[in-house]
Amino acid sequence: MKGTSGRTRSRNGANLEHAHLLNQRVILEIVRLHGPVSRVDVARLTGLTNQTVFNIVDGLHQTGLIRDFGRKVAERGQPAKLFEINADAAFSVGLHLERDHIASVLVDFKGVIRSRTYRAGHLTTPAEALKQALSSIRELRQKNHHKRILGLGIALPGPMDFQHGKVVFSPNFPGWEQVKVQDYFNRSTKLPVVVDNDATAAAIGESWYGAGRPLDSFVYIYVGVGVGGGIIVNGRPYRGFRGGSGELGHLVVDKRRNAQLCGCGKRGCLEAYLSLTSLTQRLGQAGLDGRSLTKIVELFEQGNEIVLDWLKTAAAYLTEIIGDLQLLFDPEAIVVGGHLPSPLLSFLIERSASIGQKNRRVDRYVRILQGMLQDEAAALGAAVLPIDDLIAPNYERITEGQHPSLLELWDSGN
């Protein structure tokens, strides 16, 4: 992978083989996004010739990556055969390691969660967290031992060194900077492992299976113990030079001298107002227990003043950031999701949209959508990472080195 400092600028060209590998992935993606589809539909949606589409679809069908879905009802002539993604072609495990919980999911090829584990509790040291994470993965694999698992995706808070699969700097997740997460899980599970920042993973999850599915480009805001961002451009994540892009939580929104102190040491960061940590702190100062999400929802439904006041302040700062993101990226939509309970997220989004319109901070055409994957977005997104690595039509990835054909990959049993 590129991305080392001091490199000269270069571009990988495509030879015929690359073009074929790319077309396989493009067609698989079209079947995934639009299936059930006929071969003629695929040709129309990709601009490829019927001959190319027929050959590739037949190949994908033979390997079992796609399967029959009956025939199209036709007014005249032979009704066309329809194809869809084969949900059972492969599975993937995703794990989200957060400061207060570990969630893991086993996802089928269609993105449906087929099995899950959840462990709540504060993780004191990286060693303890890794031990618990590994035991979650083992539990999932034991329950699904007959399924073909493509790989393991790990989502962690904080900016990532994506290339080396480790945390760069995580203000609220101390001690993780030196842990080689990818190596650890690779050695202990013998699976291909991809590690990413949790907000980017959640954005990829929403892009494949949630609110981002119909969108080419969007910015995702993850509200959890911290606040993060994921950027999707033309269906692909934009990770930045090292993998540290989208650290929205540490953009300064409150410039006052006495602004809230953030875990990173700065004052006035978005995270100091919008995260679950900040809500828990506010509730704690008032002698209320805000550590359980059920309790938070209960307080919200009772119209608790502290929760409402927190939401209003958080919405005002969120609006500022959305206005900035719009100016920077001009995205199709902004998707807000994460671990914050759904009723509070809805309130936050509605309030933020209405503030934005009133003070003209956010353009009328900007759509602010709620994430559909809720609190499992990061775990599901993590599960997509190894699938994305293997089958997404990622031109750079295909041309950068040895990348097997999907047909070879499936014929050889991975």
Minimum Å gap between C-beta 262 and Zn ion is: 3
In the complex with Zn ion, the residue whose CB is nearer, 171 or 230, is 171
In the complex with Zn ion, the residue whose CB is nearer, 45 or 264, is 264
What residues make contact with Zn ion under the rule CB under 5 A? 250, 262, 264, 266, 269
In the complex with Zn ion, the residue whose CB is nearer, 140 or 262, is 262
Minimum Å gap between C-beta 173 and Zn ion is: 13
Minimum Å gap between C-beta 303 and Zn ion is: 30
In the complex with Zn ion, the residue whose CB is nearer, 269 or 307, is 269
Minimum Å gap between C-beta 265 and Zn ion is: 7
Minimum Å gap between C-beta 34 and Zn ion is: 41
Residue showing tokens 């690779």: 186
Minimum Å gap between C-beta 267 and Zn ion is: 8
Strand-strand pairing, 218-223 and 166-167: unpaired
Asked if residues 133 and 72 have their Cβ atoms less than 8 Å apart, the reply is: no
Asked if residues 153 and 383 have their Cβ atoms less than 8 Å apart, the reply is: yes
Of the candidates 189, 181, 187, which has an alpha carbon nearest to the alpha carbon of residue 164? 181
Asked if residues 362 and 325 have their Cβ atoms less than 8 Å apart, the reply is: no
* Kind and range of the H or E run holding 193: strand 193-197
Contacts of 82 (CB under 8 A, 6+ apart): 35, 36, 37, 38, 68, 69, 70, 71, 72
Asked if residues 387 and 109 have their Cβ atoms less than 8 Å apart, the reply is: yes
In the complex with Zn ion, the residue whose CB is nearer, 269 or 274, is 269
Q: Which amino acid is at 57?
A: V
Asked if residues 150 and 192 have their Cβ atoms less than 8 Å apart, the reply is: yes
In the complex with Zn ion, the residue whose CB is nearer, 242 or 266, is 266
Cα radius of gyration (the chain) = 22
